[in-house]
Amino acid sequence: MIIRFKINEIECEVNEEKEEMTILQACTANGIEIPRFCYHEKLTIAGNCRMCLVYVTNEEKLLAACGIPLDENFDDESIETEIDEILKAREGVMEFLLINHPLDCPICDQGGECDLQEQTLAYGLDTGRFYIKKRAVEIKAFGRLIKGIMTRCIHCTRCVRFLTEIAGVNELGVLGRGYNMEIGTYKKDVLIESELSGNIIDLCPVGALTSAVYAYKGRPWELKNVKGIDIFDSVLTPINYQVKGGEIFRILPRINDRLNEEWITDKVRFHYESYKVIEKLRKETPSYKIQENKYMELSWKTALKIVFKVLLNKQNKVDVIIGSKINTTNLRIYKELMNRLGSKNYITENGLLYKKFNYDFRENYLNSNDLYTVDKNDLVLLCGVNLRLESPLLNIKLRNINFGDDEIETVKKIGIIGNKFEWKDESEYLGSTVNSMLKLFEGRLQYCQQIKKSKLPLVIIGTSLLTRVSLTIQEIRAALTKVSNVKPENVVVITQGANFGMALEEGVFKENFSKGGNVLYSIDSNEFKISENINYVIYQGIINDTFENKIDLYLPSKHYFEDFDGEREVYINMFGQRSEMEKLKISKGNKIKENSMIGYIQLMYLNNKEIKRKEKEQKEMEIRYREAPERKIKINKNITINNIIENYYMTDINIRLSKNLMITGQNRKEKKIIEAGIWKNKKCI
């Protein structure tokens, strides 16, 4: 049914069958601005602030535009948003909101981007009539990341709704009524435990919730936006670095409805303080180990000569491990370098996780389904994945699936194989071992009947499963399609690392990679253990806290967002989508080189030298077939599918060097406050 109505004498129409719209949404779609505080398009409607009042013909009172849907009753109706009665009502609402609001604007971090400031200027009175003592509320302790000055709060409840509906935690709520109404935790000394808690800072329309890390450091009009991506998640969420004078002041999300909507994780939002720590700890020149815990500074020319001597020594077998943040250009450079040296033993640090990976075809490692239409799926099966830890933003999408009413209420629409984790009430736990997964493949689980009945099931495969089973994605998809009606494109694989898909595209992955070498060349890679047979370590990167004193030659390189040939660099996320990052310079040392520059210098050196390859080495043309050959698979059925990520805030050197993140979440519970270790440079080089 098409509904025709007028807004400020402008004729409009809405097809009720195709889209459900409220008055506020209809006004916004037609370019008519209506002020609001509590309404947000990604949250449920609350109608708390009453700022969006409009006049509708044949209605006795003004209506809240955010909560009134357009239906057949509005056919031929007229809506007014600018008449004197509405303007007077808005002035009254603004006056009430400002009654208890403190005059903190000169020192408030929200200044310059505060909705209350802007709407007071546009819709408020020019004088105040309230002379009684203002109400004050104590400052709330929400953790080391969020500062809560609740005297500024206007009770829009955006923060409460986000944490409850989107993040899935119930740690904030509305306490008291009337004059005593407050937003807070239900118990004292309870902190917000969510990987997405920082988003309530962006949602707050006033200065009640602000970033504790950014406090009193800058104003929004002083900061320059530089486009970046969330390098710690394979979704590659678009973000904005806000910088001033070569320093990152804060990180904010960029809106992308297909990927992150407008949310980012706390890990990427607050990790930037680690760059200051790195700049203090790192060395600007190459260093050579002369004895235990003692290093000698070298020139770049001397250091690179040592690298060539080690790499060109025929008696050395070199293992090359490339970090997860290395961009496409550098992957190509170092692949070419290793090929010219005659070495095939190179891999990314994420590739070390997998027992077997078939990268012959893109569908085996890049997902064609980006979960944008996840609402159409009527069943979800999670296999070896903890979404809260592995991909919090995908967790949001899947948590918001509304399965609707089912004829049988006892049927569970979500199946979980692997470690238990807090999720929706509709979930059913199917087991924690590989044997449970094999039973599913063979159709011997009772839950398989539910999968067959569903029209469009979705299966999420996590890295935790692929690291413990010698099965490829191709084999898992084939097994699932045999026992159910799961479409191959609806088997989504969550990989780890920003450049994993890129590395497979470029062929920087070796199935036969073995840590059997005696020399390790680590290129900005920290997240693995050195094998016992390694007797010489070359580390090229920003800083290292995992190799301890095993590094023999250290080559300092720049951060991943500085390491570009041009002004932009391209990454590919787990859905095969391009994500661009702009160049950002924060390193103050002039002697530090880009990884690309170090690689180019080595290639130039090799072009001027004749390299005698081993006689046994022959170039072979690898012929691959779409259908994998039959092979016998030996699987230990009793292996438990444990989480690949045990601690969300310990997955990267840039996270571990952030003080505020290191005393957040699980680290705070386990009392892992390790300032005496990392920040005093006892384990870093």
Backbone φ and ψ of 365, nearest 5°: -140, -10
Q: Which of 216-225, 329-338, 503-512, 558-567 has the lowest mean pLDDT?
A: 503-512
Q: Which residue has the higher pLDDT, 642 or 110?
A: 110
Backbone φ and ψ of 504, nearest 5°: -70, -35
Backbone φ and ψ of 305, nearest 5°: -65, -40
Is residue 519 within 8 A of residue 503, CB to CB? The reply is no
Of 382, 466, 464, 459, give the one whose Cα is nearest residue 423.
382
Could you tell me the domains of the chain?
Answer: 2-97 (3.10.20.740), 132-278 (3.30.70.20), 283-358+500-607 (3.40.50.740), 366-493 (no CATH)
List pLDDT tens digits, range 150-164.
999 999 999 999 999
Residues 6+ apart with CB under 8 A from 447: 381, 415, 428, 430, 440
Give the H or E element holding residue 202.
Answer: helix 199-203
**Using the 8-state DSSP alphabet, how is residue 138 labeled?**
P
Is residue 545 within 8 A of residue 369, CB to CB? The reply is no
Q: Which two tokens stand for residue 229?
A: 């991506």
Q: How much is the pLDDT for 163? A: 93
Q: Is residue 192 classed as helix, strand or coil in its secondary structure? A: coil
Residues 6+ apart with CB under 8 A from 68: 22, 23, 56
Question: What mean pLDDT comes out for the span 363-380?
Answer: 81
Residues 6+ apart with CB under 8 A from 7: 26, 27, 30, 32, 79, 81
pLDDT-based confidence at 622, cuts 50/70/90? very low
Q: Pick the most confident of 220-224, 625-629, 637-641, 661-665.
A: 220-224
Residues 6+ apart with CB under 8 A from 241: 225, 226, 227, 228, 248, 251, 272, 561, 584
Q: Which residue has the higher pLDDT, 618 or 51?
A: 51
Question: What mean pLDDT comes out for the span 413-428?
Answer: 77
Is residue 494 within 8 A of residue 574, CB to CB? The reply is yes
- C-alpha dist (Å) from residue 281 to 198, 239, 275, 294: 28, 27, 10, 15
**Cα three-residue angle 146-101-90, rounded to 5 degrees:** 115
Residue 406: pLDDT above 60?
Answer: no
Q: Which residue has the higher pLDDT, 613 or 481?
A: 481
d(CA 427, CA 429): 7
Give the H or E element holding residue 607.
Answer: helix 595-607
Q: Pick the most confident of 368-372, 400-404, 533-537.
A: 533-537
Q: How many beta carbons lie within 10 A of that of residue 410, not counting itself?
A: 6
- C-alpha dist (Å) from residue 513 to 60, 474, 518: 76, 21, 14
Would you mind telling me the total number of residues written for the chain in this entry? 685
Query: Parallel, antiparallel, or unpaired: how do β-strands 414-417 and 318-322 relate?
Result: unpaired
Backbone φ and ψ of 268, nearest 5°: -85, -30
Q: How much is the pLDDT for 613? A: 40
Q: How many CA atoms lie within 13 A of 599 on its CB side?
A: 26
d(CA 615, CA 639): 43
Question: What mean pLDDT comes out for the span 488-504?
Answer: 85
Residue 675: pLDDT above 80?
Answer: no
d(CA 654, CA 244): 20
Question: What mean pLDDT comes out for the span 583-593?
Answer: 81
Residue 335: pLDDT above 80?
Answer: yes
Question: What's the chain's Rg over C-alpha atoms?
Answer: 29
Q: Which residue has the higher pLDDT, 680 or 253?
A: 253
pLDDT-based confidence at 638, cuts 50/70/90? low
Residue 645: pLDDT above 80?
Answer: no
Q: How much is the pLDDT for 187? A: 83
Percent of the residues in the chain that have a pLDDT greater than 90, as a whole number: 27
Q: How much is the pLDDT for 141? A: 81
Question: What mean pLDDT comes out for the span 241-270?
Answer: 92
Residues 6+ apart with CB under 8 A from 673: 662, 663, 667
Burial of 624 (0-12, 13-18, 19+ CB in 10 A): exposed
Residue 402: pLDDT above 90?
Answer: no
| Mean pLDDT taken over the chain | 82
Q: How many CA atoms lie within 13 A of 402 on its CB side?
A: 4
- C-alpha dist (Å) from residue 411 to 224, 389, 404: 52, 27, 12
Q: Is the CA virtual torsion 97, 98, 100, 103 positive or negative?
A: positive
Q: How much is the pLDDT for 229? A: 93
**Using the 8-state DSSP alphabet, how is residue 654 labeled?**
H
- Alpha-helix runs per DSSP H in 400-499: 434-442, 447-453, 463-466, 473-483
d(CA 567, CA 581): 9
